[in-house]
Structure 1
Amino acid sequence: MSIFNLIVALGAVTHKDSDHERVLIKRIKAGDNKALEELYELYKSLLFGMIISIVKKREEAEDVLQEVFMRIWEKAHTFDENRGNVYSWIVTLTRNKAIDRIRSKGYKTQEKASTSVDEPEFSLEGDKFDPLETTIFSDRAELVKKALEEIPEKQREVIKVAYFGGMTQSEISEHLDIPLGTVKTRTRQGLIKLKNILEDHISRNG
């Protein structure tokens, strides 16, 4: 299981879709733009934090967030609650959009022309902005952060680059200047340890 799928799965465990969310998606499918506005208010902070942790720039993140909700509007009819929940569907769609943005030609050209990355001053509920904190809801976010700190630094580095950078293992190898085999080994070992830590915590705490 990838780091992204693992985190989404943990978020889904904590965030069981409410009847309200399911109703909103059904209303969106029926063309109710007020339902889209309600869904936006419900998810905007979570998704904005997730996007900005990937694209790094506030203006880019705001654009991607708008694109995400346009996509939700256009693709709501494809959502099947029997195959997944609203949370997982929206978070997956959001990450894909953010990754598409940083892989775009325009973004790469902008990055080459800039020597620095914007430092966003975004927060949730007054807390200091933390990318991991905004990828999943409260207690699971904290759990994942702690679990990541328990695995070796080199394994943690590869996993974070893969998750937030959306890089392939070959790209990670080039980015970190380490052999591809090393990337694969660190990723595999790191994910196994992370998964075991998280599963152990969940089994002990329910």
Structure 2
Amino acid sequence: MLRLMLRRVLPAALMLAALLIAAVRLIPVRGDTAPDIRAILAPPDACAAPCWQGIQPGETSIDEAVALLAAHPWVAAIAPLPPGVAGTAHQYRLVWSGAQPAYIDGGRPGHIYGSDQGIEGVILWTTLRFGDLWMQLGPPDHGDITLNDWQLVEYSALPISGLIELHCARFWEQRVRLEIRAHEPNRAAYDYSPRAARDLACAR
């Protein structure tokens, strides 16, 4: 009886395992070691998620955030941008000092933005790749493709969103712009497999 059950179940189990391995192999493994994304985005004990470096979107005021960043060793300068940029009342540009961790792209400025009620989000250009996000965090919860061929993906549990340029040949290698914010926009569920996600980019 046991032998008969094994004959029936084992082939299906082996086929399922092969399919899972094939799906994972579609995502290239980095030659270097990608940082632990959950660890670098984990909020400190005194600051509930979403929170980055003591700045809590939805709670921290603009003045508090500016003061925190002006004194931060990672930031060389912080400067206001004209009202209305990115559709917000307040936005500041962050110039990195060189002391920032490796996951932040020091050649591209960061941003914070918000309204008179407080900070709404933090934007970081990173050295993380889309394949890093998928391998560590799994498929995104929500996603969309913008009119200028960028992919916007969201992970509600963290909560973060990522903006990635669509590129067929370097689909999984494209670097990610991370955004940490209080409220997720209402976007469609992201139900692509690794192959389907890449095929979508190659078809455009």
Bin of the TM-score, shorter chain as denominator length: under 0.3
> More helix by proportion, 1 or 2?
1
**TM-score (structure 2 length as normaliser):** 0.27
Determine which structure has more spread, i.e. the larger CA radius of gyration.
2
> More strand by proportion, 1 or 2?
2
**TM-score (structure 1 length as normaliser):** 0.27
